[in-house]
Amino acid sequence: MSITRVPAGVVPIVPGAGQESVWDYPRPPRVEPVADRIRVVVNGHDLADTVRAVRVIETAGAPVYYVPLADVNTARLVPSERTTFCEWKSTASYLDYAVAGRRIAAIGWRYRRPNPGFEELTDRIAFYAGKVDEAWVGDERATPQPGGFYGGWVTSSIVGPMKGEPGSEGW
């Protein structure tokens, strides 16, 4: 069951043609396939490139894209000691980028044993758009979800306001 409540004082932007409102996304979150090519670039090289991604959508957040391990250059990633917990998905373990003297801490994360309902995230990695050099959804370069905490990718196809923007701390 999806329950979406818009907090008092929040006025969702009405989506235009071809757009989605983050306020129409479900809570609890949902995993769904992505038709677009998803690409992550660091140091001028593809770190990830796939047409087999899934995205997680959740009320008030930008979509988070998960790339199959088979479509990630995992030789450029090393395990991090960082972990976080999501009430819906489980415990996330993080990965650092480490190549030729450049290290990007917690560039991405994965759920090794996701909770029921999120099994599609097994053997997939999500990347922070704000920590990579380029994050692409189809032919559009994505920007990071505001605030730095959330891993959503913002494109012209979604409208907010979104978690992470000033004043959204209580959402």
In a domain, 14, yes or no: no
Which pLDDT score is estimated for 4?
Answer: 62
Which pLDDT score is estimated for 78?
Answer: 98
Which pLDDT score is estimated for 171?
Answer: 80
More reliable by pLDDT, 169 or 26: 26
Burial of 11 per CB tally in 10 Å (0-12, 13-18, 19+): exposed
| Chain segment 88-147, per-residue pLDDT in tens | 999 999 999 999 899 999 999 999 999 999 999 999 999 999 999 999 999 999 999 999
In a domain, 121, yes or no: yes
Within 17-92, residue ranges assigned H as helices are none
Burial of 68 per CB tally in 10 Å (0-12, 13-18, 19+): middle
**Does residue 9 register a pLDDT over 90?**
no
In a domain, 161, yes or no: no
Whole-number average pLDDT of the chain: 95
Residues 6+ apart with CB under 8 A from 171: 7, 10, 60, 163
Count of structural domains within the chain: 1
In a domain, 170, yes or no: no
Q: The domain containing residue 135 runs over which residues? A: 20-153
| Chain segment 66-96, per-residue pLDDT in tens | 999 999 999 999 999 999 999 999 999 999 9
CATH of residue 75's domain is 2.170.150.40
- Tell me the one-letter amino acid at 145: Q
Model's pTM, two decimal places? 0.95
